[in-house]
Structure 1
Amino acid sequence: MNSPWQRRRQPDDVPTPVAVAVSDFCRRAKAPAPAPEVREALALLAEADDFRVRALTDGEPEASPLGPFAVIDILSGTQAAVAAQRQACGFYEVARELAHVREQRTPPPAPAEPTLTFAPPPAAEASSGKKGGKASKEDLEATVKERIAPRKRAPTEDTLGSPADFAEEPALSRRDLPRPRGRFTRVEAPRASFLELTRLTGKPIVEAALEAADHRFALLRALSQRFNGARGELTQMDLENVLRDHALMDTMVEKERRQVLDGFTGQRGAAGRVAWALGLSPSELQRLVSVLSLTEEVEALRERFRREALAAPHLTHRLDLLGREKYLADLGIQKKFADMLRKELERLVGEVLNDARDLHELADAVARKHGAPAELVFRALERLGLADGLRKQLLAGSR
């Protein structure tokens, strides 16, 4: 007959939801227990009894304290009040130790008996030195381990090297190391000859690259990765000669003129933003404008936008331009614009100076009168250096 304090499974085999339910039940029964103790207690029950554990733990404890071994005792038929008394007097600590001792004394399961087979025994090999095919005494005494063991060979003089052979070789220096190889190595593709571009078969290649490039500098960068030049690297002169040979130079020039003029118009004359939009450096943009003979047209566009910035009709527009310092500096009118706006703000502030008590009220008054954001007016007064003088005037007027 099995004792109730004997394990029927391993603690690690206890389902986690069941262990959590028992742990919560013990906490509510004022006898919280650590997780290992809960699993040791539940290991005394078979897997088929887990539903009984859940039925008990889903309700409220009838007595307290009740630990995990008390739960097992209640499931065995003990009253809850008796289990609480046993929990209080330390009965279940002895039961836990008893279960541990019985687990250690339990003999391991006996190995399974080998099944009988009716296969014929392996035929013994005949010894080469005996007659009648009988095996020698040494063959009969040989075991399977000796048969499958690796053969040991005695070292010979030929296989042994001299002490100089075992000397440590110097490590390779960094410059002597081999170049990296493999799937992650970045190796530049071999570039074709410059003659491939000059031939008739190279025209479709140049046309495709020309269609994808906005200007000759981008075209040069694209083709220089695939082709060499006449004397080494592909140069701008080599590229222009190829374009002329294939009668594509006019197409390139027309495309560049359109890109440059549209860029200056769209960016309102800001050369820096045009260069950034076209992927050029400022010096490359200047060279391109000079090569295309667009200097006068570009300067006319920039002058047009300078006049528009200086003659902005609304105060809000002028205050907004004041914050675009890079744009004004690109057009070369930053100082002139700031001086004009400073004089205008001094005039506008003088009209409402007597109606304000501080700088914020002054900015609000100017903004209401001229329909501009008060925050922009206040920032303009700070940026143009008018704030300190106005604060002193307002302070003197309030006295």
Structure 2
Amino acid sequence: MTSPWQRRRQPDDVPTPVAVAVSDYCRRAKAPAPAPEVREALALVAEAEDFRVRALTDAEPETSPLGPFAVVDILQGTPPALAAQRQACGYYDVVRELAHVRELKTPPPAPAVDPSIPTFATPPAAPKAATKAGKKADSEASVLERIAPKKRQAVDEETTAPPEAEEPSQFLRRDLPRPRGRFTRVEAPRTPFVELTRAAGKETLEAALAGSEHRFALLRNLSHRFNGSRGDLSLVDLETVLRDHGLLDALKEKERLQLVDAYTTQRGATGRVAWALGVSPPELQRLVSAAGLVEEVEALRERFRREALATPHLTHRLDLLGREKYLADLGIQRKFADALRKELERLLRDELSSASDLHGLADAVGRKYGAPSELVFRAIERLGLAEGLRKQLRASVPTSTP
């Protein structure tokens, strides 16, 4: 069985785009790592799993910190929260050493005997008395070696080669310095913000706008490639340069269409609209305000509130009762529950005489009004009507006289 921390390929075989994506993901997850460590972690992932690495790193980190070995751990099925805890307590530093130790367990093959090298004759045997003394001294030395404490030696990650690449034991590998100059692997630097303000920057912005639904997605795409006027690229910098190039109005119209479609599709649920667009609730409010859709969005939400409260079909109303988050998002959860409770009490009162228990009462109402009996029974329990109905059913049962 293959261990998850066993190397599948050499670090130099890791594709550069995958390594850059993991490095950027770790930077956004507040655990930046050097390029050699990133490639060393990706060497634990098979080449066929590179698409899963890209799918994970293209999204925003769910928690932090997450280093390259934490990314590999998440791909193996570990929850992101647990991987973040392991990253914070130094668990992956031990894993990194373990990956090297596993490679060093297999001893290197013995060097082949070169026939051109002359062999030397064995020395003559020692006298018998000297041999007995030597055996006694050797036995005492072996006992001392067995009971002596063993000292652990740290594995040098930079200078230790894999077993298949080790040289014969008589040629010791030197401690080489870290790579410098043109051999150093570093992340690509980000372009200064002034490049976006020039005429050539308009083409870059237009190409980025084609693949972004709104300004926050555009900001995430460009922040990996460009700096801002005062450090990281900010939304104010982006809006300023879009306004200077005459692209801000086109972006607002695109955002307006996206917001109206999302609110219509999600039936006015703000939380699901934010999830569909990939933004947080404060960012969604800013998008609605920037697009001038505050009144129109509120009108859409009011329309769906009236539809939820005035739904004539009992099955639809019972189904809406189970969607508590949607009703709470629209702000009508209590009002909807009170209205449905009154209507359900009236319907159950009419069928009370024809039922002997609560399940039979739910079946009678469901058959009469074309609603599933499971939804009716669940609504009775959720609206707090079960205890009162059981008392009424027990009181309506005639008692037998002796």
Instruction: Classify 1:190/1:395 alpha carbon distance in 2 versus 1 (closer, same or farther; 3 Å).
Output: same
Question: What is aligned with 1:217?
Answer: 216
Spell out the pairing of 1:159-178 with structure 2 (5 A cutoff). none
* Contact 2:214-2:251 at 8 Å conserved across structures: yes
**Superposed displacement of residue 227, structure 1:** 0.2
Question: What is aligned with 1:309?
Answer: 308
Question: What is aligned with 2:204?
Answer: 205
Question: What is aligned with 1:150?
Answer: none
Superposed CA offset, 1:86-144 (max 9, x none):
xxxxxxxxxxxxxxxxxxxxxxxxxxxxxxxxxxxxxxxxxxxxxxxxxxxxxxxxx94
SS at match of 2:231: coil
Question: What is aligned with 2:372?
Answer: 373
Question: What is aligned with 1:195?
Answer: 194
Question: What is aligned with 1:145?
Answer: 119
SS at match of 2:225: coil
Instruction: Classify 1:353/1:329 alpha carbon distance in 2 versus 1 (closer, same or farther; 3 Å).
Output: same
Instruction: Classify 1:324/1:188 alpha carbon distance in 2 versus 1 (closer, same or farther; 3 Å).
Output: farther
Q: Does 1:289 align with 2:288?
A: yes
Instruction: Classify 1:211/1:320 alpha carbon distance in 2 versus 1 (closer, same or farther; 3 Å).
Output: same
Question: What is aligned with 1:244?
Answer: 243
Aligned-partner Cα distance in 1 for 2:228–2:385: 61
Aligned-partner Cα distance in 2 for 1:230–1:144: 73
Q: Does 1:258 align with 2:257?
A: yes
Question: What's the TM-score once normalised by structure 1's chain length?
Answer: 0.54
Aligned-partner Cα distance in 1 for 2:260–2:327: 20
Percent identical: 72
* Contact 2:214-2:254 at 8 Å conserved across structures: yes
**Superposed displacement of residue 314, structure 1:** 0.3
Q: Which amino acid aligns with 2:302?
A: E
Q: Does 1:325 align with 2:324?
A: yes
Aligned-partner Cα distance in 2 for 1:368–1:287: 49
Aligned-partner Cα distance in 1 for 2:361–2:215: 55
SS at match of 1:145: coil
Instruction: Classify 1:372/1:179 alpha carbon distance in 2 versus 1 (closer, same or farther; 3 Å).
Output: farther
* Contact 2:253-2:291 at 8 Å conserved across structures: no
Aligned-partner Cα distance in 2 for 1:179–1:241: 43
Spell out the pairing of 1:126-145 with structure 2 (5 A cutoff). 144-145=118-119
Aligned-partner Cα distance in 1 for 2:336–2:179: 59
Q: Which amino acid aligns with 1:386?
A: L
Instruction: Classify 1:356/1:224 alpha carbon distance in 2 versus 1 (closer, same or farther; 3 Å).
Output: same
Question: What is aligned with 2:37?
Answer: none
Superposed CA offset, 1:254-306 (max 9, x none):
00001111110010000000000000101110111112221100000000000
Aligned-partner Cα distance in 2 for 1:378–1:208: 56
Superposed CA offset, 1:46-87 (max 9, x none):
xxxxxxxxxxxxxxxxxxxxxxxxxxxxxxxxxxxxxxxxxx
Q: Unaligned regions of 5+ residues in structure 1, if any?
A: 1-142, 148-171, 173-177
Instruction: Classify 1:330/1:186 alpha carbon distance in 2 versus 1 (closer, same or farther; 3 Å).
Output: farther
Question: What is aligned with 1:337?
Answer: 336
Question: How many equivalent residue pairs?
Answer: 227
Instruction: Classify 1:145/1:215 alpha carbon distance in 2 versus 1 (closer, same or farther; 3 Å).
Output: same
Aligned-partner Cα distance in 2 for 1:212–1:180: 38
**Superposed displacement of residue 146, structure 1:** 5.9
* Contact 2:193-2:228 at 8 Å conserved across structures: yes
Bigger Cα Rg: 1
Instruction: Classify 1:206/1:390 alpha carbon distance in 2 versus 1 (closer, same or farther; 3 Å).
Output: same
Runs of 4+ residues over 3 Å off in structure 1: 143-147, 178-181, 185-188
Instruction: Classify 1:275/1:347 alpha carbon distance in 2 versus 1 (closer, same or farther; 3 Å).
Output: same
Question: What is aligned with 1:272?
Answer: 271
Aligned-partner Cα distance in 1 for 2:358–2:178: 70
Q: Which has the higher contact order (CA 8 A, sep 6+)?
A: 2
Q: Does 1:231 align with 2:226?
A: no
Q: Which amino acid aligns with 1:145?
A: T
Superposed CA offset, 1:230-271 (max 9, x none):
111111111011111211111100000011111100100000
Q: Unaligned regions of 5+ residues in structure 2, if any?
A: 1-116, 122-155, 157-176
Q: CA RMSD in A?
A: 2.6
Superposed CA offset, 1:304-332 (max 9, x none):
00000000010000000000000000000
Aligned-partner Cα distance in 2 for 1:335–1:212: 42
Question: What is aligned with 2:384?
Answer: 385
Aligned-partner Cα distance in 2 for 1:187–1:328: 51
**Superposed displacement of residue 222, structure 1:** 0.7
Question: What is aligned with 2:395?
Answer: 396
Aligned-partner Cα distance in 2 for 1:341–1:214: 39
Question: What is aligned with 1:356?
Answer: 355
Q: Which amino acid aligns with 1:283?
A: P
Higher mean C-alpha displacement, 307-316 vs 229-238:
229-238
Q: Does 1:298 align with 2:297?
A: yes
Superposed CA offset, 1:133-185 (max 9, x none):
xxxxxxxxxx94369xxxxxxxxxxxxxxxxxxxxxxxx9xxxxx9999xxx9
**Superposed displacement of residue 187, structure 1:** 5.3
Instruction: Classify 1:145/1:391 alpha carbon distance in 2 versus 1 (closer, same or farther; 3 Å).
Output: same
**Superposed displacement of residue 189, structure 1:** 2.6
* Contact 2:252-2:290 at 8 Å conserved across structures: no
Question: What's the TM-score once normalised by structure 2's chain length?
Answer: 0.54
